[in-house]
Structure 1
Amino acid sequence: MAREPVNVNEFQELARQALPKMYYDYYTGGAEDQHTLKENVESFRRIIIRPRILVDVSKIDMSTTILGHKTSAPIMIAPTAMHKLAHLEGEVATARGAAACDVIMGLSYMSTCTVEEVASSCNAVRFFQIYVYKRRDITALMVHRAEKNGFGAIILTADTPRLGRREADIKNKMIAPQLKNFEGLISTEYVSGGC
């Protein structure tokens, strides 16, 4: 693009230009026929922000608290996987961005940086995403590590009893970075949508 992006869609185009096709497809794709992905996009399109007319907006304060943690806006960086596919510093860079904007970061269990690396990188308020695994000892260990490293809450995720078939990843023969939080605990190989 010849100019700076002015909306979210233009950031997506920048990503398409900057990332290898395999990684761009990973970030923009979904599982199976992508019905859920399409519905999520459509759901956001249906949201309408109601303008407030003739209201004093000279001093706007969007700050709030989420689970007792202060944040500059009712916005949170959701836990998303494998940031090192897009940036060499991965989730550490995301945490620094969250700290700079004074918003909460959710760290994915599928991060390419450890909870310890993210925690030591900056003073961002951090939450940690976890699934309850068949091996409860792994779940307990992950929660303990997050707590020990100052993560303020656990984001319990229960939507994936089994990972979906990510067809673009299969076609691209996707081989992603190691899932750092699981090193030494279980097989951390991630190929074609399986973990």
Structure 2
Amino acid sequence: MTITDALTIDDLMHMARRRVPKMFFDYAHSGAWTESTYRANQADFARIGLRQRVLVDMTDRNLASLMVDEPVAMPVALAPTGLTGMQHPDGEMLAAQAAEAFGVPFTLSTMSICSIEDVASVTTRPFWFQLYVMRDRAFVESLMARAAAAGCSTLVLTLDLQIMGQRHKDLRNGLSAPPRWTPKHAWQVATRPRWALGMMRTRRRGFGNIVGHVKNVSDLSSLASWTADQFDPRLSWEDVTWIRDRWPGKLILKGILDPEDARMALGRGADAIIVSNHGGRQLDGARSSISALPGVVGAVGDQIEVHLDGGIRSGQDILKALALGAKGTYVGRPFLWGLGAGGKAGVTRALNILRHELDVTMALCGRRDIRGIDADILDRLGDPIGAEVRRT
């Protein structure tokens, strides 16, 4: 199968599995502990029904919208994902180029392989940057300064990684970037020759935003020691205010699941919040993002823009999230699988698949403009999540 033959995101996932070493494929295709929340993120979308409408004008459809006042070709952004450059050589740079050409935002992770400056060197449109707050506040300030200097328009502040959830697959695989040279890892790389050749040709194989930018961190061993002590368990709402005071652009808060936390986010100067459980990679047993969305929207109303991240595998999922009140959505694994399957062309293919599915589904629900999607497109029978939002 070639990239152009892929009809679904699942097709791209199977292609990526054959092309990416197991440790890095598993990193994207896994959750914390029993992975119950990871599975629920996707399964709960399937519980939401749609209303089919007929004999309505389906011409001149529009998917263009706004996310934090930024024009987007469809209400989708590429989510921040760590180690993206291990799915494919120079992965962040290629994904950013694909997103720019398509007309949707790309969000670069703090824990990326390609650096802020690498991505800025191959793009012309402002991209977004995701920030982890470390104990080393001077480093945090330097990250924000570098992002601003690179022209990043929006900062996505992750709130739910004060303490890292245990991810069994990563521990069993001995995940590292670049990979350790044990017999197991050598075999995984040797059986993916195209990936290995690409990695040999690039110099970007470590955490580009950190190595060389932190005092006494110049290689993998010193990086491991630094990161083990840097995620700050004391992170609080006051730190959000501290970030807001220092960041000149738009600010989005990522990792809200509880309506009480959503209300606490109000008045902190943020432009949007993202309903997210970190892709099921933090608190196993937490609610799925889509099931948490109605409660968060109900708590904040139109006082702040609400987005959703987690579990989206199709254009139908995007439409359901919009119907439940999200103004924008994020895709992580779908674009990673596209990247692993075929680099920049694979990311473009993933976005085209999602756009086509979103467009057709919207039309069959009797709507022509994505900006007018609401809960009226949801089936009132057999749809507990949709019923919940209609009660509110």
**Same fold judged by TM-score > 0.5?**
yes
What SS does the corresponding residue of 1:188 show, helix, strand or coil?
helix
Q: What is aligned with 2:130? A: 129
1:173 matched to 2:201? The reply is: no
Query: What does residue range 31-110 of structure 1 map to in structure 2 within 5 Å?
Result: 31-110=32-111
Quote the RMSD (CA, aligned, Å): 2.3
1:54 deviation in Å? 3.0
Q: Deviations over 1:8-39 (max 9, x none)?
A: 11111111111111211111012222222122
Q: What amino acid does structure 1 have at the position aligned with 2:223? A: T
What are the superposed Cα offsets for residues 83-140 of structure 1, whole Å, 9 maximum, x if unpaired?
2212112100000110111111111111101111101211234111112222211111
Structure 2 distance, partners of 1:91, 1:113, is 6
One-letter code of the match for 1:46?
R
2:223 alignment partner in structure 1: 188
Extract unaligned runs of 5+ from structure 1. Answer: none
TM-score by length of 2: 0.46
**TM, length-normalised to structure 1:** 0.88
SS at match of 1:181: coil
Letter in 2 for 1:188: L
AA at the equivalent of 1:160: L
Structure holding more helix per residue: 2
Identity %: 31
Stretch of structure 1 that moved more, 175-184 or 45-54: 45-54
What displacement does 1:43 show? 2.8
Contact 1:69 1:125 in 2 (8 A): no
Report the secondary structure of 1:70's partner residue. Answer: strand
What amino acid maps onto 1:172 in structure 2? Answer: N
User: Is the CA contact 1:30–1:166 (under 8 Å) kept in the aligned structure 2?
Assistant: yes
Query: Counterpart in 1 of 2:153?
Result: 152
* Alpha-carbon distance between aligned partners in 2 of 1:179 and 1:16, rounded to the nearest angstrom: 23
Report Cα offsets for 1:28-57 as digits up to 9, x if no partner. 012222222122122333344544533323
Which amino acid counterpart does residue 164 of structure 1 have in structure 2? G
What's 2:112 paired with? 111
Shift of the alpha carbon at 1:188? 2.8
Distance 2:145 2:50 in 1: 40
Does the Cα contact within 8 Å between 1:64 and 1:73 map onto a contact in 2? yes
Question: How far is the alpha carbon of 1:76 from its aligned partner?
Answer: 0.6
Report the CA distance between 1:78 and its aligned residue.
Answer: 0.6
For residues 194 and 47 of structure 1, what CA distance do their matches in structure 2 show? 42
Matched to 2:8, the amino acid is N
Partners of 1:121 and 1:49 in 2: CA distance: 40
